[in-house]
Chains A and B, each alone.
Chain A
Amino acid sequence: MTTRDAVNILASTLPEGVSLVSSPGRTADEVANKFPNQTLFIDSMGDVVPIAMGLALGLSPLPVVALDTDGSHLFGLSVLATLGAHWKKLSNLTVIVFDDHLYEGAGALPSRLCSIDWSMLGRAFELPISAIGNPDQFQSVLAKHNMSGTYCIVGVNNPTPVGSCSRTIDGIESRYNFVRHIERITGHTILQPCIKG
Chain B
Amino acid sequence: MTKQRQTECESAYNALVANRITAFIGMPDSLLAPLFTYISGKPDIEYIPTTHEAVAIGIAAGMTLAGRKCLVAMENSGVRAAFETLTRLSISHHLFVCMLLSDRGGFGERNWWGVPHSFTSKAVLELLRIVNHPVENAADFNGALVSAYATLAAGQCSVALVATHIFTERLAQG
A residues with a Cβ closer than 8 A to B are 21, 40, 42-44, 46-47, 49-59, 76, 78-79, 81-82, 85-86, 170-172, 174-175, 178-179, 182, 186, 188, 190-192
Contacts and interface: CB of A to CB of B under 8 A. Distances in A.
A52 B46 CA distance: 17
19 contacts: A46-B54, A50-B59, A51-B58, A51-B59, A51-B61, A53-B59, A54-B64, A54-B70, A56-B62, A57-B46, A57-B48, A57-B68, A58-B63, A78-B50, A82-B48, A82-B55, A179-B65, A182-B65, A186-B66
B47 to A, nearest CB: 10
Given A82-B48, A171-B92, A175-B95, A55 B54 contact: no
Contact of A78 (B51, B61, B63, B93): B51
B144 interface: no
B54 A172 contact: no
A188 B59 CA distance: 20
Nearest to B82: A47
Contacts of B66: 54-55, 57-59, 182, 186, 190
Contacts of A44: 84-85, 88-89, 92-93
A50 B93 CA distance: 15
Given A44-B85, A54-B65, A57-B23, A82 B93 contact: no
Interface of B: 23, 46, 48-52, 54-68, 70, 84-85, 88-89, 92-95, 153, 155
B65 A58 contact: yes
Nearest to B46: A57
A50 B54 contact: yes
B114 to A, nearest CB: 23
Given A58-B63, A186-B66, 5 more contacts: A44-B84, A50-B59, A51-B95, A78-B51, A178-B65
Nearest to B58: A50
Q: Which are the 8 A-B pairs with shortest beta-carbon distances?
A: A54-B62, A58-B66, A50-B58, A78-B52, A171-B93, A58-B68, A44-B88, A54-B63
A27 B155 CA distance: 28
Q: Which of B64, B85, B92, B93 has the most CB of A within 10 A?
A: B93
A78 B59 contact: no
The secondary-structure label for the interface of chain A is helix
Contact of B63 (A55, A82, A85, A174): A55
B45 to A, nearest CB: 13
A14 to B, nearest CB: 18
A53 B95 CA distance: 15
Contacts of A175: 65, 93-95
A54 B67 contact: no
B49 to A, nearest CB: 7
Contacts of A178: 65
A109 B88 CA distance: 23
Given A44-B84, A54-B58, A188 B67 contact: yes
Contacts of A192: 153
A122 to B, nearest CB: 16
A67 B107 CA distance: 45
A100 to B, nearest CB: 22
A82 B50 CA distance: 6
B65 A57 contact: no
A58 B51 CA distance: 20
Contacts of A170: 92
A49 B59 CA distance: 8
